[in-house]
Amino acid sequence: MVAKFLHSMARSGIDAILPPRCGGCGTITDSPHAVCSDCWAGLRFITAPQCACCGYPFELDDSANIVAEHGVDQTLCGNCLHKKPGFDQARAALVYDDHSRDYLLRFKHADRTDLTPLLTRWLFQAGQEFWGQADLIIPVPLHRRRLLARRYNQSGLLAAKLSAQTGVPWDGRLLRRARHTRSLAGLGPSSRKREVGGAFSVDSKQATKFGLDGARVILIDDVLTTGATANACAKLLKRSGAMHVSVITVARVVR
């Protein structure tokens, strides 16, 4: 009780000097690592019904009827019916649009690492069906050249925070980006696939240390666009022994 009281007093003192602010517009909020009601209204969270495999949201009423009749696990989008991706499942917290893009650009390129707890909360909710069976969390890696320029891997920050929240171990060295690739922004699906082909490698020592063989892996990234990066990483992890690979991102492109 004393420790709780002291923590509450310390929190009140900090809030008085540095009041918590909205992660979107910066206005003062009631609690830290939150967004105000106006910014919340602009965010498009992805919820059911969605593809059981890739998590693509179904927007038609007929899709919702299919889910209710046959069960979520049997409902796939057209792309996954045509060709199943390299990963087993994917989920994203938000639709990638002007609102969510602003959070991610500030997080990745403007040193706004203070957004980590907020984005982690959204990731945790998006992947809540995975945590109970997960063995290992792995962030999509940056090449050392880009890491030196940016000074941090945004996916690594999210993975570390998720590990602390869920108790699932994480490692940022098991999966490596062995080849420097150009930015995928603006590239089409086929160009993205070619660009990331052979770009990743697995550190065998780290794989042994963390028991990759037979593991259920959670792959963390900021955005799922065409799935080229997620597919390349998932296929490599499976070839290296992983039994199941799920992908969780803050946002995903919906066309």
Residues 59 and 2 in one domain: no
Residues 206 and 252 in one domain: yes
Q: What is the pLDDT of residues 156-198, one digit of tens each?
A: 999 999 999 999 999 999 999 988 776 777 677 788 878 787 8
Residues 175 and 230 in one domain: yes
Residue 119 is classified by DSSP as H
Q: What is the pLDDT of residues 11-61, one digit of tens each?
A: 444 444 578 999 999 899 888 888 999 999 999 999 999 999 999 998 743
pTM: 0.85
Residue type, position 174, single letter: L
Sign of the C-alpha dihedral, residues 201, 207, 213, 217? negative
Residues 119 and 199 in one domain: yes
Q: What average pLDDT does the segment 127-151 reach?
A: 94
Q: What is the pLDDT of residues 231-251, one digit of tens each?
A: 999 999 999 999 999 999 999
Q: What average pLDDT does the segment 6-10 reach?
A: 45
Residues 184 and 166 in one domain: yes
Domain closes at, from 84, 109, 142: 84
Q: What average pLDDT does the segment 80-90 reach?
A: 95
Residues 17 and 104 in one domain: no
**Burial (0-12, 13-18, 19+ Cβ within 10 Å), 215:** buried
Q: What is the pLDDT of residue 74?
A: 64
Residues 151 and 247 in one domain: yes
Q: What's the domain range around 12?
A: 1-42
Number of domains in the chain: 3
Residues 65 and 124 in one domain: no
In this structure, what CATH number is given to the domain that contains residue 251?
3.40.50.2020
Residues 108 and 145 in one domain: yes
**Which residue do the tokens 């049997």 mark?**
74
Residues 6+ apart with CB under 8 A from 250: 92, 93, 94, 100, 103, 104, 119, 122, 123, 158, 222, 223
